[in-house]
Amino acid sequence: MNKVVLQLVKISARMLVLVILFALAVVVGRGSYQMGYRIYTEPAMSDSNSAKAVSVQITEGMSDREIARLMEESGLCKSEVLFFVQLQLSEYKNRIKPGLYTLSTDMRAEDIIAILGGKNPDEETEES
Query: What pLDDT is attached to residue 120?
Result: 73
Q: How many CA atoms lie within 13 A of 109 on its CB side?
A: 27
Query: What pLDDT is attached to residue 2?
Result: 87
Per-residue pLDDT tens digits of the chain, which is 128 residues long: 788 899 999 999 999 999 999 999 999 999 999 988 998 889 999 888 889 999 999 999 999 999 999 999 999 999 999 999 999 999 999 889 999 999 999 999 999 999 999 887 666 555 44
Contact at 8 Å (CB) between 62 and 96? Answer: yes
φ, ψ of residue 58 in degrees (nearest 5) = -100, 120
Which parts of the chain fold into alpha helices (H)? 2-41, 64-73, 80-89, 109-116
What's the CA angle centered on 22, arms 12 and 81, to 5 degrees?
145
Query: What pLDDT is attached to residue 128?
Result: 40
Q: What is the pTM of this model?
A: 0.76
Query: What pLDDT is attached to residue 124?
Result: 54
How far is the C-alpha of 99 from the C-alpha of 93, rounded, in Å? 17
Query: What pLDDT is attached to residue 127?
Result: 47
* Burial label, 86 (beta-carbon count in 10 A; 0-12, 13-18, 19+): buried
